[in-house]
C-alpha cells in the first residue's frame, strides 16, 4: 500500500509540474512573440534608413526567443554534451549545417546547443517543413527569413526554385552566416522503411539509425551560396557578393544528434518536462566546402557517405554510450554545454516586462482613439 501511495504522489507531482510548465510556456509565448513583432513594427523606419542595424536588432531578439525555448528544456534537466570538432572556431564564417532528424525535439536541442556559439544564432537561417509556418513560432520565422519547404514529389522542383530565389533575396541582405537543414526530409520513424526499400533496390547500405538524405536543397544551397572563386558559379549574383564582400559559404558542418537508448525528445516532452533529466549528445564534423563536389552524382555520393558515417557514429554511441574518437586518436573528448541561469532569467524577465509595456501602450492608444 505504501508503494502505491508513493507512486501516486510521484504521478501527481509530475502532472502538477507539467501543468505549471505548460501554463508558463503559454504565458511566455503570449508576451514574447507579440513583443518581438511589435518591436520590429516600431523599428520599420530604422529598416528603411539603416537596414544593417535593423537586422542586427532583429537577430538579437531572435536569439533571445530561441534562448527562451532552450530554457524550457534546460530547467527540466535536458542538457547537451558536445563531441567532435569545435564549431566555435567557424562561427563567424558562412556554413551549411546538415543534421539528422529523429523528432521535433531536434530543433529545440539545436536552439540550446548553439546559444553559446557567438553571433551565429541570430545570423542563422533555418529550412523547415511548411507545417511549422502555422505554429506559434511561425510568424517569428517568417519575419526572420527562414524558409518553409513542402515535401513530396509534386512540390519538389517548384520548392527548389523558390529556395534559390529565397536565398538570393534574403540570405546576404540580412547578413546570414549559417543555414540549417535536415536532408533526410522527415523524421526517422516516418522515412526509415521507405529509405531502406530504396537502399535495397539501388544496392546501397542498409541504415537503421538514419535514412538516406535527399540531394535537392543541399545542391541548391551550395550552388547559390558558394563564392565564385571556389566553384566558378555566382553565389546569389555578383552584385550581392561585391556589396556584402562575402567570402561565400566556407564550411559544411555535419551534425549528428544522439539520444540515450535511441529515445528522442519531442516538443511535448520539452515543454511539459515529464521525462527524467536527459543528456542529448551532439557530434560535429567540419568539412571545407572546397572539398565538397559540385557535380550532382559526386555530391550525392558525398552526401550519402556523410549519413553512412552518421550510422556508424550512432551505432557506436548506442553500444557504448559515447561517440568514437577521431581517426588517429585513442580517446574522444566531450564538452558539456552550459547555459547561465541568470542570463535566462534576465531574458525571461525582459519578455514579461515587454509584454506588460506593450499592453499598457496598446490600452492607452485604444482609449485615445475610442
List Cα–Cα distances, 168 to 151, 173, 237, 302, in angstroms. Answer: 21, 8, 7, 25
Asked if 127 contacts 150 with a C-beta cutoff of 8 angstroms, the reply is: no
Q: What pLDDT was estimated at residue 129? A: 84
Classify strands 78-84 and 334-337 as parallel, antiparallel or unpaired.
Answer: antiparallel
Q: What pLDDT was estimated at residue 150? A: 82
Q: What pLDDT was estimated at residue 13? A: 83
* HSE toward the beta carbon, residue 62, CA cutoff 13 A: 27
Residue holding cell 513583443?
35
Q: Helix count (H) and strand count (E) of the chain?
A: 13, 8
Asked if 214 contacts 184 with a C-beta cutoff of 8 angstroms, the reply is: yes
Give the integer Cα–Cα distance in Å for 169 and 152.
24
Longest CA–CA span in the chain (Å) reads 76
What DSSP letter does each residue of 122-150 carry, written as one string?
GGEEEEEEGGGGGSTTHHHHHHHT-EEE-
User: Distance from first CA to last CA of the chain, Å, rounded?
Assistant: 64
Write down the domain spans for the chain.
9-227+247-369
List Cα–Cα distances, 41 to 38, 65, 146, 188, 367, in angstroms. Answer: 5, 17, 18, 39, 21
In the chain, DSSP assigns E strands to: 78-84, 94-99, 124-129, 147-149, 178-181, 249-258, 278-288, 334-337
**366 beta partners:** none
* Residue 209 grid cell: 539509425
Q: Assign 340 to helix, strand or coil.
A: coil
Q: What pLDDT was estimated at residue 153? A: 73
* Residue 166 grid cell: 529565397
Give the integer Cα–Cα distance in Å for 277 and 290.
41
**pLDDT mean values, one per 10 residues, the chain (370 residues):** 71 87 94 96 95 95 95 94 93 94 92 90 90 86 92 80 94 93 89 89 92 92 80 41 64 96 92 92 95 93 95 95 86 90 95 94 88
Give the integer Cα–Cα distance in Å for 128 and 115.
19
Give the integer Cα–Cα distance in Å for 39 and 122.
16
List Cα–Cα distances, 292 to 77, 78, 284, 302, in angstroms. Answer: 38, 34, 17, 7
Give the integer Cα–Cα distance in Å for 323 and 331.
10
Amino acid at each position: 500500500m505504501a508503494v502505491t501511495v508513493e507512486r501516486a504522489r510521484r504521478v501527481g507531482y509530475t502532472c502538477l509540474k507539467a501543468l505549471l510548465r505548460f501554463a508558463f510556456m503559454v504565458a511566455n509565448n503570449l508576451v514574447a512573440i507579440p513583443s518581438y513583432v511589435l518591436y520590429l513594427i516600431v523599428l520599420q523606419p530604422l529598416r528603411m534608413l539603416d537596414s544593417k542595424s535593423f537586422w542586427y536588432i532583429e537577430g538579437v531578439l531572435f536569439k533571445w526567443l530561441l534562448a527562451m525555448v532552450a530554457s524550457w528544456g534546460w530547467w527540466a534537466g535536458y542538457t547537451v554534451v558536445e563531441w567532435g570538432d569545435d564549431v566555435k572556431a567557424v562561427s563567424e564564417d558562412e556554413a551549411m549545417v546538415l543534421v539528422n532528424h529523429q523528432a521535433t525535439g531536434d530543433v529545440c536541442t539545436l536552439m540550446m546547443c548553439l546559444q553559446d556559439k557567438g553571433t551565429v544564432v541570430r545570423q542563422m537561417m533555418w529550412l523547415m517543413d511548411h507545417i511549422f509556418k502555422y505554429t506559434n513560432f511561425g510568424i517569428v520565422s517568417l519575419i526572420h527569413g527562414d524558409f518553409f519547404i513542402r515535401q513530396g514529389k509534386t512540390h519538389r522542383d517548384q520548392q527548389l526554385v523558390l529556395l534559390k530565389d529565397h536565398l538570393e533575396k534574403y540570405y546576404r541582405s540580412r547578413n546570414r552566416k549559417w543555414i540549417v537543414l535536415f536532408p533526410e526530409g522527415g523524421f526517422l520513424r516516418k522515412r526509415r522503411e521507405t529509405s531502406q526499400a530504396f537502399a535495397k533496390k539501388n544496392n546501397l547500405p542498409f541504415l537503421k539509425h538514419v535514412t538516406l538524405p535527399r540531394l535537392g536543397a543541399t545542391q541548391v544551397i551550395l550552388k547559390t551560396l558558394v563564392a565564385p572563386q571556389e566553384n566558378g558559379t555566382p553565389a546569389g549574383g555578383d552584385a550581392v557578393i561585391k556589396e556584402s564582400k562575402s567570402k561565400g559559404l566556407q564550411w559544411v558542418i555535419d551534425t549528428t544528434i544522439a539520444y540515450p537508448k535511441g529515445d528522442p525528445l519531442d516538443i511535448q516532452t520539452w515543454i511539459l518536462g515529464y521525462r527524467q533529466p536527459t543528456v542529448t549528445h551532439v557530434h560535429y564534423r567540419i568539412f571545407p566546402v572546397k572539398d565538397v563536389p559540385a557535380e550532382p552524382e559526386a555530391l550525392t555520393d558525398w552526401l550519402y557517405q556523410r549519413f553512412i558515417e552518421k550510422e556508424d557514429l550512432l551505432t557506436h554511441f548506442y553500444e557504448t554510450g559515447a561517440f568514437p574518437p577521431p581517426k588517429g586518436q585513442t580517446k574522444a573528448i566531450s564538452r558539456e554545454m552550459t547555459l547561465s541561469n541568470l542570463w535566462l532569467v534576465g531574458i525571461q524577465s525582459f519578455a514579461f516586462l515587454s509584454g506588460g509595456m506593450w499592453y499598457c501602450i496598446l490600452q492607452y492608444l485604444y482609449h485615445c482613439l475610442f
